[in-house]
Amino acid sequence: MTQTALINSPIGSLRLTSDEKGLTWVDFLRSKRTTPSKYAASFRLQEKALKDFFTKGKSLPKFSFGDRGGTEFQRKVWREIEKIPLGKTRTYADIAKAIGKPGASRAVGSACGANPIPLFVPCHRVVASNGGLGGFSGGLDIKKKLLRLEGAL
């Protein structure tokens, strides 16, 4: 059974979706504020973790994830991105090398764009080799805010 929750945050409203196994999707909603939904207790842990992340600068803990889909390559990229510590960044090229696919920087960027659970798999911590931010599913303004919040900018 799929469940969703709407949660307000300093970067705007977030919609979290889960299945029986865990978190499957995080959407950045364009509206600044929504009426938080009444949701299952299963989302309370994620909501508290997000609040601590935004207000206290704490790392998001590892949660169980449901079926996120993705290709084998994308899942390798996402697992590697999960290793990037709070306050640090890696380049698309760094990730490509780490998964044994040097030269696959663009494919890493595509995998980041396909990441269904940003923040929990912190693709905002992956930047371009030329010093640019690269892209982000939530938009570059949110990526900048997140990196500043984490002390990486």
Residue positions annotated with a catalytic role: 123
Which residues have CB under 8 Å from 97's CB, separation 6+?
none
Count Cα neighbours of 55 within 13 Å in the Cβ-side half-sphere.
8
DSSP-assigned states of every residue in 71-102: -HHHHHHHHHHTTSPTT--EEHHHHHHHTT-T
Which residues have CB under 8 Å from 89's CB, separation 6+?
125, 126, 127, 147, 152
